[in-house]
A and B are shown apart, each in its own frame.
Chain A
């Protein structure tokens, strides 16, 4: 059962973010639950599984809700992979679960804005403020998800595991 738990968590996060949250909360400051969850899974489970679950989450979003197909799949895949690398390399470092979401969320925001700018959108400085708030909210959410997933998944390589 524990083997399928990350898959269940990924599907649950996608459903909540895309079908539940838009009905309950309408705010530009709402953090990206699925993206943050993929980062946390990468931190806990490593780069290969982070890559797999990132691709699964992104592809699911692309197929069901978003367009173009592959946009979210690639971004989530890379985020999971990068989080996995950071999680292993800086496993014992205290700020790894804090710095990793900040960096990856910032890169996601920049890529999204850049893509839209190339597609012809006009930019506004207020978007920077919105992005910073979302990054902060996502980082805070990431800490909670980190503890929760660590409790549920009990990964082999865990900063909280006994030596």
Chain B
């Protein structure tokens, strides 16, 4: 205990001495600094030439320049990183906004294109409806298809309550689609012309040759083809000829576009010759159709579907007085009877003439005095 009491006053004294010593050195350092400053000022201000730095300035600047350069470079790098990060987030947000807007616009564009396509189809249907307004057409949508690729039947949303009946023709703006096969209350089944069980009486528009068109089994999903048989003169037909309905089957109205000739198959056996017809309707994308409702009512009041064209009688011969002999039926082909004109002159029809004499020309068609056109007369 007495030792501790002795150290306390000694510590205080030592501390005081130390403090006095440090203050003395501080005063000396301060004085030196002042002197140096004065000297430096003298160098900077007195020994400075005009337009040039003094030696001292040059020395100080040269020493500090690398340090400034390093600091500046680091600062620029950090600033670049920060700006880049900020720009990244900004660009990322803008990209997402632009992407969403792009998707929305794309969907709108697709909807508009779909509406445009539908508008085009419906306009074509409207034109067809106007064209066949006398056949009382009704608009229908395709609601289902037969599964598989062997049969080409589909279902529409019109039935007996809409006046649809069996064997009514179904068309689009492009041409003939098929006929009503079966009918329910509010739906109907349609057999398309490309179905293998379908038969359509057709004619070639240019040559007016009649034939029967059958559908074929679809070999791929791109093209649907039909074959037309029983043509009298297949050599006259060329690819590109238009095929129309002839109305001879009593189901399809005459003059409906069916398709175009794609190829002509000439076989050695005349009965095997046929032509390949490409339908004008795109059966893979049929969505809306028109059903031609032509209905006739017989005496009993029942509704018959699409009347069969009956032969109109020719002018009845007036009974003679009995004194004059009736004119003989003309057997000579040179007599003036109406013959169906053909595109190509048939040598078989030109009668044999005497040698040196010119062949007699084909007689001009004469119109029946009853006022009927030749094609209206259905002769067997």
Say yes or no: B217 contacts A127, CB within 8 Å.
yes
Which of A15-23, A45-53, A85-93, A152-160 binds B? A15-23
* B-facing residues in A98-122 (Cβ within 8 Å): 112-113, 115-116, 119-122
Q: A119-B197, A130-B219 given as contacts; is B147 within 8 A of A34 (CB)? A: yes
Q: A116-B150, A121-B217, A126-B219 given as contacts; is B196 within 8 A of A65 (CB)? A: no
Say yes or no: A28 contacts B189, CB within 8 Å.
no
Which of B26-34, B124-132, B151-159, B341-349 binds A? B151-159
* A-facing residues in B179-230 (Cβ within 8 Å): 181-182, 187, 189, 191, 196-197, 214-221, 227
Say yes or no: B144 contacts A64, CB within 8 Å.
yes
Residue count of chain A within 8 Å CB distance of chain B: 30
Query: Which residue of B147, B151, B227 contacts A32 across the interface (Cβ within 8 Å)?
Result: B147
The reply to whether the CB of B330 lies closer than 8 angstroms to some CB of chain A is no
Residues of A within 8 A of B187 (CB): 64
Query: Which residue of A18, A126, A127 contacts B147 across the interface (Cβ within 8 Å)?
Result: A18
* B-facing residues in A42-79 (Cβ within 8 Å): 61, 64-67
Say yes or no: A130 contacts B149, CB within 8 Å.
yes
Q: A18-B145, A67-B181, A67-B191 given as contacts; is B220 within 8 A of A26 (CB)? A: no
A119–B206 CA distance with the chains assembled, in angstroms: 31
Minimum CB–CB distance from B81 to chain A (whole Å) comes to 50
The reply to whether the CB of B328 lies closer than 8 angstroms to some CB of chain A is no
**Chain B residue nearest in CB terms to A109:** B150
Residues of B within 8 A of A123 (CB): 217
The reply to whether the CB of B148 lies closer than 8 angstroms to some CB of chain A is yes
Q: A67-B181, A67-B191, A122-B227 given as contacts; is B143 within 8 A of A19 (CB)? A: yes
Say yes or no: A27 contacts B155, CB within 8 Å.
no
The reply to whether the CB of B136 lies closer than 8 angstroms to some CB of chain A is no
Minimum CB–CB distance from B286 to chain A (whole Å) comes to 10
Q: A66-B151, A122-B216 given as contacts; is B284 within 8 A of A19 (CB)? A: no
**Chain A residue nearest in CB terms to B199:** A120
Residues of B within 8 A of A65 (CB): 144-147, 153-155, 189
Residues of A within 8 A of B182 (CB): 67
A112–B195 CA distance with the chains assembled, in angstroms: 13
Residues of A within 8 A of B215 (CB): 121
Minimum CB–CB distance from A131 to chain B (whole Å) comes to 9
Minimum CB–CB distance from B1 to chain A (whole Å) comes to 93
A91–B214 CA distance with the chains assembled, in angstroms: 46
The 8 A CB mask of A122-154 against B (1 = contact, 0 = none) is 111011001000000000000000000000000
Minimum CB–CB distance from A102 to chain B (whole Å) comes to 17
Residues of A within 8 A of B146 (CB): 18, 61, 65-67
Say yes or no: B148 contacts A112, CB within 8 Å.
yes
Say yes or no: A113 contacts B221, CB within 8 Å.
no
A4–B184 CA distance with the chains assembled, in angstroms: 28
Query: Which residue of A26, A32, A66, A112 contacts B284 across the interface (Cβ within 8 Å)?
Result: A26
Say yes or no: B189 contacts A67, CB within 8 Å.
yes
Say yes or no: A18 contacts B219, CB within 8 Å.
no
Say yes or no: A28 contacts B221, CB within 8 Å.
yes
Minimum CB–CB distance from B170 to chain A (whole Å) comes to 15
Minimum CB–CB distance from B54 to chain A (whole Å) comes to 88
A19–B227 CA distance with the chains assembled, in angstroms: 29
A35–B150 CA distance with the chains assembled, in angstroms: 14
The 8 A CB mask of A1-35 against B (1 = contact, 0 = none) is 00000000000000001110010001111001111
Say yes or no: B197 contacts A66, CB within 8 Å.
no
Query: Which residue of B144, B150, B216 contacts A113 across the interface (Cβ within 8 Å)?
Result: B150
A100–B149 CA distance with the chains assembled, in angstroms: 22
The 8 A CB mask of B308-346 against A (1 = contact, 0 = none) is 000000000000000000000000000000000000000
A29–B149 CA distance with the chains assembled, in angstroms: 9
Residues of A within 8 A of B285 (CB): 26
Say yes or no: A116 contacts B196, CB within 8 Å.
yes
Q: A22-B145, A27-B221, A127-B217 given as contacts; is B151 within 8 A of A120 (CB)? A: no
Minimum CB–CB distance from A31 to chain B (whole Å) comes to 10
Minimum CB–CB distance from B375 to chain A (whole Å) comes to 29
Say yes or no: A32 contacts B154, CB within 8 Å.
no
Say yes or no: B196 contacts A18, CB within 8 Å.
no
Residues of A within 8 A of B197 (CB): 116, 119-120
- Nearest first, the 8 closest Cβ-Cβ pairs linking A and B are A121-B196, A22-B145, A18-B144, A66-B146, A112-B150, A19-B144, A126-B219, A28-B221
A-B contact pairs, 13 of them (CB 8 A): A17-B147, A22-B145, A28-B220, A32-B147, A34-B147, A65-B144, A66-B189, A67-B189, A112-B150, A115-B150, A116-B196, A121-B196, A126-B220
16 other contacts beyond A34-B147, A67-B182, A116-B196, with CB at 8 A cut-off? Answer: A28-B149, A28-B220, A28-B221, A64-B144, A64-B187, A65-B144, A65-B145, A67-B151, A116-B217, A119-B197, A120-B196, A121-B196, A121-B215, A122-B217, A124-B217, A130-B219
